Amino acid sequence: MIRREAIRWLMLAPLVACARGAGADDPAGLQRFAFTEPHMGTLFQLVLFAPEPAAAQAAAQAAFARIAELNRSLSDYDPASEVSRLGRAPAGTAVPVSPELLKLLQRSQTLAARSGGAFDVTLGPLVRLWRESRRTGRLPATDARVQARQVSGHALLALDAKASTVTLGRSGMQLDLGGIAKGFAADEALAVLRRHGFSRAMVAASGDLALGDPPWGKAGWTVELAPFGPGSGSPVVLVVANAGVSTSGDTEQHVEIEGVRYSHLIDPATGLGRTESVAVTVIANDATTSDALATTCSLLQPEQIRPLLAAEDTAVRTLVFTRSADGVAQRTLYGRDPSGLVSRP
Ligand code: ADP
Ligand code: MG
């Protein structure tokens, strides 16, 4: 995750087309403001309703600053980040970590356990090898894959919540929070906008949306999903407020090697990209949850999704899109609607 080189906003547009909202006839006289900045290898867009431009701008600046701060801690691209430094720690040493990193690692370890290791933030070495394969169009060499697997696996990561430390089981491990960090950053940016008094606001980071109170006169933000792009049937329309919506899938990020289509998500069983073509949208109370669960559900078999969602403390709705023979998206629903999901098909 957290690629510097790839700005994927436009490429991802077919996946989660947009979250729309107009603020016409707002009795409080609020106007709509939108701001966009590149962060974490994608574009973050903020939309908020505010009485005047200066206040909106100040809030947006603070929200973008929070995203940049999180990236300095969570990026696996930045060798100076907290995550990268942690990866250089010798095995068996308890390393103090920030509250944010601890929280994300706790959430990730819970998901790793519940998903039988399908979601695993310790797959960093394999993710790196796979990025190289996606670039070169060649499968990783077997010995490189064996080596990477020796320093991967969630059982090698020990957390001490009380002491706020992390201990790696092997030297040479690398954490990759690409499946959860963007949703968390969107939640944190929305929280900043709320603290500035702007609760009618939303944050979009390509496939991850953190949605606050809806625009005046609306029941929610309209989110359009076209899981397999144009020509895959009419878009699926959701109306959502005060919730996170994330989409994960291989539509925009896949590679074909020797006639096989692989996803950018790593199957821990093989150490290679997944070969099933699915797109998954998750609606949850917050975008940290929706992001992590969208990645996880993309990696699971259908029968594994229901128990995973049932283990969550709060209601979560998952839409899994598969492609029928004619290329049209077919959807299957799992879980329960969270209160923020105002309407869905
Ligand atoms: P996107 O990057 O399109 O928003 P996701 O939220 O699904 O998509 O996250 C994909 C990223 O998750 C990958 O780029 C990689 O950094 C990381 N990742 C890949 N495989 C796994 C896995 N099995 N478990 C956890 N994270 C993974
Ligand atoms: Mg994700």
Domains and their CATH numbers in the chain: 87-168 (1.10.3980.10)
Phi and psi at 165, nearest 5°, equal -130, 160
Phi and psi at 234, nearest 5°, equal -70, 150
d(CA 258, CA 55): 54
Please report where in the chains the tokens 């706790």 appear, as a residue.
106
DSSP 41-76: TEEEEEEEEESSHHHHHHHHHHHHHHHHHHHHHH-S
d(CA 111, CA 305): 12
Measured from the Cα of 3, ligand 1's closest atom is 14
Q: Is 178 in the pocket of ligand 1 (CB under 6 A)?
A: yes
Q: Is 214 in the pocket of ligand 1 (CB under 6 A)?
A: no
- Can you tell me the mean pLDDT for 331-341? 97
Q: Is 299 in the pocket of ligand 1 (CB under 6 A)?
A: yes
pLDDT over 70 (residue 11): no
Measured from the Cα of 120, ligand 1's closest atom is 24
pLDDT for res 25: 66
Among 174, 182, 295, 298, the mutation site with the greatest number of ligand 1 atoms within 8 A of its Cβ is 295
Assign 3-class secondary structure to 25-38: CCCCCCEEEEEEEE
Whole-number Å distance, alpha carbon 93 to ligand 2 midpoint, is 29
Q: Which residues contact 99 (CB under 8 A, 6 or more apart)?
A: 164
Q: Is 182 in the pocket of ligand 1 (CB under 6 A)?
A: yes
pLDDT in tens, 246-297: 999 766 678 899 999 998 999 998 999 998 888 999 999 999 999 999 999 9
pLDDT over 50 (residue 14): no
pLDDT for res 229: 76
pLDDT in tens, 103-131: 999 999 999 999 999 999 999 999 999 99
User: Who wins on pLDDT, 217 or 231?
Assistant: 217
pLDDT in tens, 154-202: 999 999 999 999 999 999 999 999 999 999 999 999 999 999 999 999 9
Ligand number nearest CA of 2 is 1
Q: How confident is the model at residue 12 (pLDDT cuts 50, 70, 90)?
A: very low
Q: Tally Cβ neighbours within 10 Å of residue 118.
A: 23
pLDDT for res 251: 64
pLDDT in tens, 71-87: 999 999 999 999 999 99
Q: Is 286 in the pocket of ligand 1 (CB under 6 A)?
A: no
pLDDT for res 26: 79
234, HSE (Cβ side, Cα atoms, 13 Å): 3
Q: How confident is the model at residue 22 (pLDDT cuts 50, 70, 90)?
A: low
Whole-number Å distance, alpha carbon 28 to ligand 2 midpoint, is 36
pLDDT over 80 (residue 223): yes
Whole-number Å distance, alpha carbon 48 to ligand 2 midpoint, is 24
d(CA 155, CA 148): 15
- Can you tell me the mean pLDDT for 14-32? 64
Q: Share the mean pLDDT of the chain.
A: 91
Whole-number Å distance, alpha carbon 55 to ligand 1 midpoint, is 35
Among protein residues, the one whose CA lies closest to atom 6 of ligand 1: 179
Which secondary structure element, helix H or strand E, spans residue 107, and what is its range? helix 99-114
Whole-number Å distance, alpha carbon 247 to ligand 2 midpoint, is 7
Measured from the Cα of 266, ligand 1's closest atom is 20
Coil/strand/helix, residue 10: helix
Q: Which residues contact 305 (CB under 8 A, 6 or more apart)?
A: 297, 318, 320, 334, 335
pLDDT for res 252: 64
pLDDT for res 19: 59
d(CA 72, CA 181): 12
Q: Is 272 in the pocket of ligand 1 (CB under 6 A)?
A: no
